[in-house]
Amino acid sequence: MSENSEFRFAGATGVGSMPGGDAREAAKTVTGSFEDFPFLAELPARGPGADMIGRTAGMLVELYARVEPSGWRLGDRPGRDTRRAWSFLREDLDALEEFTQGYEGDLKVQAVGPWTLAAALELRGGEVALSDAGACRDLAASLAEGLRLHLAEVRRRVPGARIVLQLDEPSLTAVLRGQVRTASGYRTHRAVDRQTVEATLRDVIGAHPGGPVAVHSCAPDVPFALLRRAGADAISFDFALLTERDDEAIGEAVEGGTRLFAGVVPGTDGPLSDPAGSVMGVRTLWRRLGLHPELLAEAVTLTPACGLAGASPAYARQALAHCVRAARSLADNPE
């Protein structure tokens, strides 16, 4: 059972990324869409340092990264790319602070988790940190310390908020299965032991003691049981990628008090169904699992399927509003 299963969340929120490059406009949209569960928007369209890997690399303590043609690579000292990441994050925090004056309630902030970071950040020789167990440990420790500092800064700026930390782990399943490619592209890195993966995640989740932590992956085959054991209070996923193989893990998660952040609204432009249609699959899953309908609103928060960086600004606003309406439909008509 999740240690913090007493945590309750609002019915809808976003995943993290938004289109465009205007931090104030993004903060205004997010706080206007989610009156009781806004999030710190990420705007990767601004370029290196605003992307998810560069943004989190900028949070690391005593580790620095720069952009190479192959991606982000760890180096000895902060350079232009690190300073750019710091600047973007300050800009986003300034905008969030402006639009959350007097706010009291849940506020979500996102960072890349230790295993996706290890699968993306290169060491000096060009291979990713995942290739070196010691580098993985150092990276996780640096990330945990950086997150403590980041969360403290968010609390200072929005003192009335309950901060929810989301760790983005889209590469986690590939790490567990040994599917992360080497620099040459001809081989893959060895699968990491599940106990090591779990222990590292637990250590990084511990950077937010007493506060709720969600882990997000929009990849197939999310390891629900492992994430729960590691201490995740909520698991965020693309609902369309679930299969009946996930039923048992989903049922155990709900009964154990783990919140489901179900991505039911497409993340890129397209027609949106009516709100009730968007949650039809969630209701079907509930019936298949034999779960009580009244548990739905207590157990499920609705989100887009993944980040909205690839959407148009108009669609992104529609998608966020649609999540709120769909959550209301789920709460009003759980059956």
pLDDT tens across 223-277, in order?
Answer: 999 999 999 999 999 999 999 999 999 999 999 999 999 999 999 999 998 888 8
Question: Both tokens of residue 230?
Answer: 């590691």
Considering the domain boundaries, does residue 227 fall inside one?
yes
Considering the domain boundaries, does residue 65 fall inside one?
no
Q: Domains in the chain: how many in total?
A: 1
Sign (positive/negative) of CA torsion 315, 221, 326, 39? negative
Q: What are phi and psi of 72, to 5 degrees?
A: -85, 135
Considering the domain boundaries, does residue 299 fall inside one?
yes
Considering the domain boundaries, does residue 37 fall inside one?
yes
Residue ranges making up the domain that contains 134:
23-46+87-332
Name the β-bridge partners of 166: 110, 214
The pTM for the full model equals 0.95
| Predicted local confidence at residue 2, as pLDDT | 39
Q: What is the CATH number of the domain that holds 301?
A: 3.20.20.210
Considering the domain boundaries, does residue 6 fall inside one?
no
Q: What percent of the chain has pLDDT above 70?
A: 98
Q: What share of the chain is helix, strand, coil (3-state, %, to 5)?
A: 45, 15, 35
| Predicted local confidence at residue 6, as pLDDT | 59
The mean pLDDT of 307-334, rounded to a whole number, is: 94
Assign residue 213 a region (left: φ > 0; alpha: ψ between -120 and 50; beta: otherwise). beta
Considering the domain boundaries, does residue 276 fall inside one?
yes
Distances (CA, A) of 125 to 43, 138, 180: 30, 17, 17
Considering the domain boundaries, does residue 53 fall inside one?
no
- Please report which confidence band the pLDDT of residue 10 belongs to, taking 50, 70 and 90 as the band edges: confident
CA distance 293 to 200: 35
Strands, E assignment, 198-294: 213-217, 234-238, 259-265
Share the mean pLDDT of the chain.
94
Q: Which residues contact 76 (CB under 8 A, 6 or more apart)?
A: 64
Considering the domain boundaries, does residue 302 fall inside one?
yes
**Residues 88-142: pLDDT tens digits?**
999 999 999 999 999 999 999 999 999 999 999 999 999 999 999 999 999 999 9
- Please report which confidence band the pLDDT of residue 3 belongs to, taking 50, 70 and 90 as the band edges: very low
CA distance 209 to 213: 9
| Predicted local confidence at residue 76, as pLDDT | 87
CA distance 120 to 60: 14
The mean pLDDT of 266-290, rounded to a whole number, is: 92
For residue 99, with 0-12 CB atoms within 10 Å meaning exposed, 13-18 middle and 19 or more buried, which class applies? middle
As a residue count, the chain comes to 335
| Predicted local confidence at residue 267, as pLDDT | 94
